[in-house]
Each structure stands twice: as structure tokens, then as C-alpha cells.
Amino acid sequence: MRLSTAILLICGAFCSTTAAQDLGDLTTVDKWKKVAHGVWSAELGEASGEVRYSDLAGAPPKIERLNRLKNIPLPGRIRKIGYHVNSDQKLMVRIPTSVGEKIFGYGLQFDGTQKNGKILTLKVDHFSKGGGATHAPVPFFISSQGYGVFFNTAKFLKVYNQVGNRKDSKTNPPEVDRNPPDDEPQSGRWMAQPPGDAIEAYVHGKGMELVVFTGTDLQDIVARYNLYCGGGAMPPLWGLGFWHRVPSKFSAAQTVQEINDFRKHDIPLDVIGLEPGWQTKSYPCTFEWQRKRFPDPGGFTKKLLDDGLHLNLWENPYISQHARIYEKMYPLSGSHLVWLGIVPDYTLQEARDILIEQHKQDHFDIGVSGYKIDEVDGYDHWLWPDHAVFPSGTSSESMRQTYGLLMQRMFYKELYHKHNLRTFGLVRASNGAASHYPFAIYSDSYGHDEYITGISSASLSGILWCPEIRSAGSDREWINRMHTVCFSPLAMLNAWASGTKPWSFPDSTGAVRNTIQLRMQLLPYLYTAFADYHQNGVPPVRSMLLETGRTNSRQVGREREINGENAPYADGDEPEIKEDNSLFMFGPDILVAPFYNRSVERQVQLPKGNWYDFYSGQLVGNHEEIKVTAQQTNDLPPLFVKEGSLIPMLKKPVNRTREIIGTDLEIRYYGKTDATCSLYEDDGETFGFEKGLYNLRKFSVEMQTDGTLRFSQTMIHEECRPMFGTATLKPMAR
């Protein structure tokens, strides 16, 4: 029987299938709607009922700014995008890609910016290396082929980046036998993961909106995304100073003592952050002052403000039974608790009103300047379940993707913007269309390499990353981490658990002080970069990817220079686009090459163009690898400046940003060519700038035929009191 030779009779009919044939033939997306120059949207499937990040974020696109940019036709490849709704209600969208095309982005991703060959489940969560789950899983990618795609749907999105081969594809790699006979050569390299020719992504749902961007280069594409999302965030000037968060159970007296110690050590300070214990109850929270620790919150806050300091309050959104607003909020909260606190449904105006009223009365009215919104990211064990139900009918999944976004919008729009006062805060989760909101993301993780990568990564997706410092294993690590912190969008020491101070590692205190003071001196330059973010969408601290092929600085306030052509990297003359997350740009002209962990030296692969040492002004190289040591930088971070740059800086460091007012500037000049830069000024704290109440000054250096420099400054836009004093040129060694 085992060796039975009985032959199954096979009839011809066997060989043709009678099964229903639906192999996911795609519907081409053909109804692209032009939103503005270089921006198109299209709906796939039945998208009318889907929650969109852009609607939820609610910052209208800066159409007028976008339309000042080069008008580029819809890339032809976009017309090949197709979609399919599967039998189990998965909406799959397929975006064809080319061989060699590189894919970057998808929000805050500590494991790198390039995503070819990766499968990402974009879901708000603690960071999980490689899988896509992260604090800010922005469903937006940019391609080396000169376009970007934003999946504008507040759902978990699973994206296959050139992973997977369709059987009907014409461009699959050839089959290779993995185990050929010994006397037969392998027909090619067998690949465990044969590259696919598309990005395929799906959600559970019936439809979604896609928004496509193009531009003259990657920076231009990202800038247009940010303009589509309302333009970048504009923090108050004080928000760019140094932040310090005190331990959880610190009292008012302890906090004041800590502030005095900062002064004693001559360390700049602008913001004090209180952690959970300022409240009567926490985890879940009341948002009400714990009078045993803070007997006079108004007096305490006023004392800080009088000293030029701003107060930031920690909170997570989960409300205690002991909170004044608990009863009113209860019916407006979801089916499940987090840490036994109710979870308000902030898609409801009534819920927002309740929170904002209480926050205004208890915090805003006494001078609190902003919030740190914690634990809106998960992980699963510390959040409502995916099947929780909310009174507005918003799905748990959409709520999870957008809770951080909702809270940013609420605090920004309905508290601070409404009362014409800027804020800058922290939030532990964000997502698509968040560019406009002045909150930086932070994490519980602490890998220095990841924190440095985060700076580049965040800049590709309209978010700001705060690589906070908490502790260190040595003086050297303390210095190096402080470098990273001070050249990030939000410079903060978070001592909530560690109790550290900037001077906690005594041998490093000089270097730490110098680093923070350098940040303070650079505030005119950084503040101008933020104005560029706001007005033109260009991230103030950003990935080197966004510099590829550029030699000129972006100039704030001017119509942006358009040198490129359509799909600039598709014509064979493309620059090499290569990720290097160990470097990043701080503003338009300064390249930062941080020392990692405890290192005192590193290699730096300089991009094309001449680069100058920030401190000495010496030429260090052009498109070559150099070595830099901590001895050379005098324990300051390695900084390199582009050919022909002007860096507006304070002549002397200040201890509070308010001391900037009227302080004289030096305009450092690097290189050998003509140079210009802009300087932005406003009142530093209101939204007057939205009505044009700001100044733009232009500084120029022209090289004269006799080798001398001609320095000039002009006021391009003058609608406010000047922030700074006299500016003088400081040519650096040439």
C-alpha cells in the first residue's frame, strides 16, 4: 500500500480554476485635487467618515506661502498609485517605486531615517526598535525621487516599504535556486528578502485620504508638508533657553533653592518644570495644586516670572476621582480607565471646555507658561485598550493615534493662542499634521545614539525632538549629552527621578556651562531659524538629508530660491542621497557632529562645499572625512559652518532670555565668498507676529576687489520694537 502505484485520474477540468478570481486588481487613484503648488490630495475608497490628521490638528494650510513656491506638475508616478479594499475590510494602497529609490521618514524613528526593506506598523507607542511603533509614528515619507506622501488617516497603518512581490509584477527579481547542485554555479545571489517594487500600506477601513508633495529637493518637500500643516511651530523666545525639571516631590521652597543654585553656578535658566507631585493626587491626576508643597501657587509663579523664569507643569491626562472636574468629565470620558483615572474624550468641545476652564483658572491665570503632557503614548499596558469606546464615537485606535495631537491643539489653541500668549511644551506622543504645534517629544528610552538619530528623524516629519539629559555614567558622557541637548530644539535637563543638576559632575561643570552659554549666545540665530520654520516650513534643526545638493542657506522672509527642476533627482544628475544621522544641521549654516556616549573624538564625513571650524574659522575640509577631538573643541561640541555664512550671535552670554533685549550682536563671518543672513525679531511672547508685527533684518558681506569685506545691514520688514542691540561684523580667521 505504501508503494501503491494507483494513479489518480486527473481530468482536464482539474487544471483550470473555477474559483472566484479577485487577486486584488487595483483601482487607480485618478482624482487628484491640487491643493497648492506642489501639493495634491485624493480620496481612496469611501473616505468621508475617516478621521484625518489634518482635520484633527486643525491648522489650515498656508496656501499663499505654498503658492509662492515653484509650481511643479504632479509627478507621473503618482498617477500609478492604486488601491484595493480586501474581503476583510483592509484598505490597501500601492505606491510604485523604482529600483534604487530611497524612502525616508515615518516620524520619530530612533533606528534610522531610511526605511527601504522595512515593515512598519505606525502606531503611537513607546519606541519599539524597528517595528514602526513610536511616540510619533507620522505616516509621511519622502522619496529620493522627489516626492512625499502623507497618509492622512488617523489609524494604525502598516507599511511594507519595498517588501513583498506581487505575482503580476513585471519587475520582480529572477528566481535563484538556494541549493544548487555542487557542479552548478548559482544563477545569482539568493536573497532572503527579494526587493519589492512598491510601497504597500493598509488600514482597517474603507477609505483614506492621501496627500502628495513634491518640491525641488527633499528640504523643499518637507517644507511644503509643514506649510500644508499650517507652518512650523513658533515658540516664545524663552522656550529656547535652558530648561530644568526638578524631582517629583519637590516643594516650592526646594524649587526656589534649586533656582538660586543655578545662579550660584552661573548656569543659564529659563524654564522650571514641576513633575507630578505638584498636584493633590497623581497617577491619576487632579491638576490641582498640592498646598502642602505649594502653599501659594500664585506667589510662587509670580516670584519665578519676576526672576525671568517660566513654569511648566507635568501632567498626564487621566483624571482622579479627587479632581474638581471629575464629576463633570465622567460622562465625557471613555469606557476604560488609565491608572484608574478617567480618559476624557477631547474630540468633544464640552470636554475641552471643562479642562481648559480649570487649567486657565488654576494655572494660566497665575502665570503658568505651559505643560508637559506625559503618557499619551502607551505602551498597551498603560493605556486604554484598542477596543475601548469613547462617547463621541471616535474609535479607540484613532483616539490613540491622536490623543497627543488633540492635547497639543487644545492647549495651544484654546488656552494660549486664545489669550495671545505663546507657549512651548513637551508631549510624549504626536502624529501627522503636528508641525504647527509648539511641543517637543521626549522618551523614556535613553540611548545617546538613538537620541542623536531622533534629531534627524523628527525633522523629516514636522515634529520637534527633545533629547533630554537625565544622568550619565561619567563626566565625559555628561558633557557629550549636554552638547546634544543644547543643539536640539528644546534644551532640557530632566531631573525628575535622578535629582541631577548641571553641576552634578563637578569636573564637567565648566564645559557644561560653556555649552549652555553658547546656546544662549546663538539664540538670535536659532530664533530666526524657528521663524523660518514657521513662515517657510524649514525645520530649524534638521537631518543632513535635507541639505543634499544645497550650498546656499535658506533665507527667512524672502521668497525661497528655486533653482531646481521638476523631480530633481530623476534625471541622472542627481546628488547622492545618503543618510548620516550622526550629523545634523542646527539652523541653516551650522553642522553639529556630536561626540557619542563617552567618546572624546570622532570621524566626520563632511558634505560637499567648504566647511569651517565654528570656533576658529579655519577651513577644515570639503566632502571628505575628518577627525575631530574634544581637545580641539575645548570640550564644546564639534560645529562646522558652511562657506559664506553669517551667524548672528549675542556678543556675550545671558542667564535669562529676557536679558537678550538690547544685547549687542556679533555677526560671525565664515569663508571667502559673499554672504547674507537674516535676523528675525518680534516681541518674543505674543502672537503679534501673525499680524506682521515682526522685524526682518538682512546682513550682507561682499568681498571687495582689494580683499576687504563690505558689511551692510538693511531692514526688510519693520513692525516691532527691536529685540537686539547693535550688530557688528566679526570675520573669523580665513
Site for a second copy in 634-693 (CB under 8 A): 686
C-alpha radius of gyration, the chain, whole number? 27
- Contact assessment for residue 238 and residue 270, using Cβ atoms and an 8 Å cutoff: yes
Nearer to a second copy, 148 or 277 (CB): 277
Q: Given the rule CB under 8 A, which of 363-371, 443-451, 564-572, 656-664 is the region that contacts a second copy?
A: 363-371
Which of 63, 74, 337, 562 touches a second copy by CB under 8 A?
Answer: 337
DSSP string, 546-591: GGTT--SPP-TTSPPP----SSTTSSS-PPP----TT-EEETTTEE
Joined together, the cell numbers standing for residue 157 give: 497603518
* Residue 192 interacting with a second copy (CB under 8 A): yes
CB of 249 to a second copy, least distance (A): 6
Q: Which of residues 142-161 bind a second copy (CB under 8 A)?
A: 155, 158, 160
CB of 149 to a second copy, least distance (A): 17
Q: Given the rule CB under 8 A, which of 58-66, 334-342, 676-684, 716-724 is the region that contacts a second copy?
A: 334-342
Looking only at Cα atoms, what is the longest distance across the chain? Answer: 103
Which of 36, 218, 304, 332 touches a second copy by CB under 8 A?
Answer: 332
Q: Residue 408: which residues within 8 A CB-CB, separation 6 or more? A: 373, 425, 427, 430, 434, 437, 439
Q: Which of residues 246-285 bind a second copy (CB under 8 A)?
A: 248-249, 276-277, 279-284
Q: Which of residues 385-414 bind a second copy (CB under 8 A)?
A: 385-389, 391-398
CB of 104 to a second copy, least distance (A): 19
Nearest to 421 by CA among 365, 345, 491, 461: 365
DSSP string, 449-512: HHHHHHHHHHHTTT-EE---B---SSHHHHHHHHHHHHTSSSEEEE-TTT---TTSSGGGHHHH
Q: Residue 694: which residues within 8 A CB-CB, separation 6 or more? A: 531, 680, 681, 682, 688, 717, 719, 720
CB of 682 to a second copy, least distance (A): 16
Q: Given the rule CB under 8 A, which of 180-188, 445-453, 508-516, 648-656 is the region that contacts a second copy?
A: 180-188
- Alpha carbon distances (Å) from 231 to 59, 202, 227, 553: 8, 28, 4, 19
Q: Which of residues 294-313 bind a second copy (CB under 8 A)?
A: 302, 305
Q: Given the rule CB under 8 A, which of 135-143, 376-384, 430-438, 661-669 is the region that contacts a second copy?
A: 376-384
Which of 334, 370, 537, 638 touches a second copy by CB under 8 A?
Answer: 334
CB of 315 to a second copy, least distance (A): 12
Measured distance CA(670)–CA(262) in Å, rounded: 34
Q: Given the rule CB under 8 A, which of 22-30, 36-44, 459-467, 691-699 is the region that contacts a second copy?
A: 22-30
Measured distance CA(37)–CA(74) in Å, rounded: 10
Q: Which of residues 343-362 bind a second copy (CB under 8 A)?
A: 345, 348, 350, 353-354, 356-357, 360-361
Q: Which of residues 37-76 bind a second copy (CB under 8 A)?
A: none
> How many chain residues interact with a second copy (CB under 8 A)?
122
Measured distance CA(430)–CA(318) in Å, rounded: 17
Amino acid, res. 590: I
Measured distance CA(734)–CA(297) in Å, rounded: 54
Joined together, the cell numbers standing for residue 109 give: 524613528
Measured distance CA(499)–CA(60) in Å, rounded: 42
Nearer to a second copy, 366 or 518 (CB): 366
Q: Which of residues 415-444 bind a second copy (CB under 8 A)?
A: 419-421
What is the torsional sign of CA 667, 668, 674, 678?
negative
Nearest to 635 by CA among 598, 688, 590, 680: 598
Q: Which of residues 79-138 bind a second copy (CB under 8 A)?
A: 84, 86-90, 92, 117, 119
Which of 79, 322, 578, 734 touches a second copy by CB under 8 A?
Answer: 322
CB of 566 to a second copy, least distance (A): 32
Q: Which of residues 465-524 bind a second copy (CB under 8 A)?
A: none
Query: What DSSP element (H or E) covers 33?
Result: strand 33-36
Nearer to a second copy, 334 or 671 (CB): 334
CB of 271 to a second copy, least distance (A): 15
Joined together, the cell numbers standing for residue 379 give: 505602551
Nearer to a second copy, 293 or 697 (CB): 293
Which of 246, 342, 452, 723 touches a second copy by CB under 8 A?
Answer: 342
